[in-house]
A = this chain, B = another copy of it.
Amino acid sequence: MPTLDRSLIAKLPPFRALSSEELSAVLALARASRYPKGSEVFAQDAEAHAFYLLLSGHVRVVRTTPDGHQIVPRYINEGELFGIAVAMGRTTYPASAVAAVDCVVLAWPNSVWPQFQSRFPSVTASTYETIGTRLQDTHSRVEEISTQQVEQRIAGAVLRLARQSGRTTAEGIEVDFPVSRQDVAEMTGTTLHTVSRVLSAWEEKGLIVSGRQKIVVIDLNGLATLGEGRRSST
């Protein structure tokens, strides 16, 4: 069995503070797996047996409500932890994680978490920071949905996608995994119809270029201005 290379994770925030030996120890406890596009890393409400780190690819986190609606709380980027239910004292996953493209993932069984606490406190500290950041992000989402118009919210979501998961191309900044109108709708609490209309309008204005499951931001500042909205200013 090929040993995982320490360099894979040495530079990532959760492991930055670890020595070579510690990195090896951490890796020795992990298992790497490949998840093809569309496959599920874990399912909402399933028993949480492990926590994960995304080595490459993009993962969509999805919550399904009792009445069948779906919302996308976030996308996971390379180098981020996810499925860290154990750090919150939870026994089940609160959402599903689906590979948005082909992914490579490290998994640690939950049973190693207590060891991490004592042997690698910098890792668990970083995990708690991650959770804190996500709590803040989620509060910002509530704020946005509560106070902003749909167009502003879509602008915010598209900007976040471009900034966090964007790849610079000849045309502009392209979201580097497939995003449908429906996905954006689930991120912003609206319908795919409205998203489609809004994106079409932006394309007309030259702010973006878009296509089937594709969004390319041309004018970042223009979008940002839209996102600020006209609630107090106008």
Interface residues of A (CB under 8 A from B): 63, 65, 67-69, 71, 73, 85, 87-90, 94-95, 117, 121, 125, 128-129, 131-136, 138-139, 141-143, 145-147, 186, 189, 229, 231-232
A51 nearest CB across to chain B (Å): 13
Q: Are B143 and A71 within 8 A (Cβ)? A: yes
- CA–CA, A178 and B87, complex, Å: 36
Residues on B with C-beta less than 8 A from A121 are 117
A9 nearest CB across to chain B (Å): 20
Binding site of A, secondary structure by majority: helix, strand, loop or mixed?
Answer: helix
Q: Are B146 and A69 within 8 A (Cβ)? A: yes
A70 nearest CB across to chain B (Å): 9
- CA–CA, A146 and B63, complex, Å: 12
Q: Are B143 and A88 within 8 A (Cβ)? A: no
Q: Are B189 and A133 within 8 A (Cβ)? A: no
- CA–CA, A125 and B186, complex, Å: 33
- Given A134-B135, A138-B139, A145-B142, A232-B128 contact (CB < 8 Å): no
Identify which of A85, A134, A139 gathers the most chain B CB atoms within 10 Å of its CB.
A139
- CA–CA, A132 and B141, complex, Å: 17
> Would you give 12 A-B contacts (Cβ < 8 Å), ordered by A?
A67-B229, A67-B231, A71-B146, A73-B139, A87-B132, A88-B131, A94-B139, A95-B139, A135-B138, A138-B138, A142-B145, A145-B146
- CA–CA, A146 and B125, complex, Å: 32
A152 nearest CB across to chain B (Å): 10
A191 nearest CB across to chain B (Å): 11
- CA–CA, A123 and B54, complex, Å: 30
Q: Are A147 and B189 within 8 A (Cβ)? A: yes
A192 nearest CB across to chain B (Å): 13
A61 nearest CB across to chain B (Å): 10
- Given A132-B131, A189-B147, A142-B71 contact (CB < 8 Å): yes
Query: Contacting A146 at CB < 8 Å: which of B88, B135, B189?
Result: B189
Query: Contacting A132 at CB < 8 Å: which of B71, B90, B139?
Result: B90
Residues on B with C-beta less than 8 A from A117 are 121
- CA–CA, A71 and B134, complex, Å: 18
